[in-house]
Chain A
Amino acid sequence: MNPKNSTPPKSGAARRQFLFDSARMVCGVGLLGLGLGFYAKRAKALPALALRPPGALPEDDFLGACIRCGLCVRDCPYNTLELAKPETPVATGTPYFTARNIPCEMCEDIPCVKACPTKALDHALTDINQAKMGVAVLIDHETCLNFLGLRCDVCYRVCPVIDKAITLEMLPNERTGRHAMFLPTVHSEHCTGCGKCEKSCVLEEAAIRVLPPKLAKGELGHHYRVGWDEQKKAGRSLIDESKMLDLPDRLPEGAQLPGHYDPASGHTAPARGLPGSEAGAIPSLPPGLGGKP
């Protein structure tokens, strides 16, 4: 045996053993961590119909701040909130509610937020009308009774922010030709996402649903300027309107626009069926029953 190697082998072997043991741990535990990481990523995909309590941080932050204690659940007087069980598709132990089961009653003192020991529910939220649990969307125009021309109005009536968050917009009912449709219309800046509308929709499946704002809202390009708003802000038109050119309008071949002025030809189409024309705005008889169209 080489005497030079007689002492180092022992420490060398120990070092090798230590390195192997560490590598084993790093690999084994790393694999576990990788699995957990992917699970965490999936947990961030909150199902669209699971709503967080008022004041909840955006989902990414919420899962890092919430310590799953359930104090918000306990202090909710309406048993709205529940903690996710392992089998629910919401991150285990975090609070959520399903509007169609029990919606948020929008307590003025917001006890759930007060109870939260973390910033998962933002304590800066003191006015429940500023809550943004989601945005109601009238998601199905084909089954909503008001869209069918009936006067259901239930979502509008139960809305805690009635006439602001939901209004009824009147439109002529072209099917009957003689009635109005009162279309429930959500105004997202006032909607808190409490879910009362979804809960009380009389259909088998709600035609109005509260969705996360991210799903419910579009977003204008940040460079967009709405002309009429800018005009209002400036107090005048931002362009010299006298120099504006009215270009010829292109219409699909064969299409007719009653009363349309075409600047190119200087021709105005006949205005039948429009207000002020001989037929009037609303035909005296529904189409197909002998009245003029």
Chain B
Amino acid sequence: MSQVAHKKRIGAEAVESKGWLRAHKWLILRRLSQFGILGLFLLGPLAGLWIVKGNLNYSHTLGLLPLTDPYVALQALFAGHVPEKLGLIGLAIALAFYLLVGGRVYCSWVCPVNVVTDAAGWLRDRLGIKGASSISRNTRYWILGMTLLGSALSGVVLWELVNPVSMLHRGLIFGMGAAWTVVIAVFLLDLFVMNRGWCGRLCPVGAFYSLVGRWSPLRISAPLRTACNDCMDCFEVCPEPQVIRPALKGEGKGVGPVILAPACTNCGRCIDVCSKEVFTYGLRFNNPASTVTLVKVQPETK
């Protein structure tokens, strides 16, 4: 019995108190965003409706809006090549956007590999796979540095030779070929080898975007953290659980409720699974050291 109680699904409490829909609100919106963006790219080749041309590395929307992936552009810069005018404009727009909303919004709201690794994470939880190998979450920053240095040394946009993110997205739009094998490899890595291995430890794209979002105003905040009942659901559902603790448990240590760690993907799953509605999207600046006053307004919940 205790085993069964222990295996309680993540977010079960939230579903009970808020209803299924509200307990999955941000997840659903995120999937809509991911598949919506992919759908826009696919409308051209599948239906002949050319709203967006290109792929995530660079796209041209309605012949008006250029968007350049800053990480790919940076590798090209390190290799000694400056983009053309449209490429540069697209670079500025994309950078400005992610500087504002948080770099890793790319990971959780746009990147197609996120769906793959989330699926692996979900299945890992359902199958109860535990205790696999692990490497430091900082590995990705080292890989990021290596790809930039390597681009400079080899004169090739280095990570694009093997990048599973662009392979999957480009594959879906331009023809998959053997890119499936890479996607499956990432899935199996996350499922059997490492918990949150790809997005959380290895991927230099996410590492780059987390640096871009280092000072982004839009952040997840835990203003009602004193209502936390330590159910641990947010830690279990979070792809980067290490980012939660300082903000959630910072009361009395002079740490504000805003999750400032740049690795946070702003995915909002913690908001969904919390039955106490501790978390919310907020601004970095709204970060008082103490949030006790806030919880007094909150009526007693069960």
Contact = CB atoms under 8 A, between A and B. Distances in A.
A93 B146 contact: no
A87 B182 CA distance: 11
A187 to B, nearest CB: 32
Interface in A76-96: 82-83, 85-88, 91-93
B42 to A, nearest CB: 13
Contacts of B158: 36-37, 40
A30 B146 contact: yes
Contact of B68 (A60, A73, A83, A117): A117
B178 A87 contact: yes
B157 A70 contact: no
A190 interface: no
Contact of A64 (B80, B87, B147): B80
A278 B98 CA distance: 90
Interface residues of B, number: 58
A257 interface: no
A29 interface: yes
B170 interface: yes
Contacts of B149: 33
A40 B150 CA distance: 9
Contacts of B76: 64-65, 67, 118
Interface residues of A, number: 45
Contact of B170 (A33, A61, A91, A93): A93
Contacts of B138: 25
Contact of A70 (B55, B81, B160): B55
A87 B76 CA distance: 23
A25 B83 contact: no
A118 B83 CA distance: 4
A41 interface: yes
B87 A67 contact: yes
A86 B80 contact: no
B136 interface: yes
Contacts of B179: 85-86
Given A69-B54, A118-B84, A33 B146 contact: yes
A83 B176 CA distance: 10
A180 interface: no
B83 A117 contact: yes
Interface stretch (B2-10, B120-128, B161-169, B191-199): B161-169
21 contacts: A29-B145, A33-B146, A40-B156, A40-B158, A60-B155, A64-B79, A65-B81, A68-B55, A69-B54, A69-B55, A69-B59, A70-B53, A70-B54, A70-B55, A71-B60, A75-B53, A91-B156, A93-B57, A93-B167, A117-B66, A117-B68
What are the 10 closest A-B residue pairs judged by CB atoms, nearest first? A85-B177, A64-B79, A117-B87, A69-B58, A65-B81, A87-B178, A40-B156, A33-B146, A29-B142, A40-B154
Interface of B: 44, 50, 53-55, 57-60, 66, 68-69, 72-73, 76, 79-84, 86-87, 90, 136, 138-139, 142-143, 145-147, 149-151, 153-162, 166-167, 170-171, 173-179, 181-182
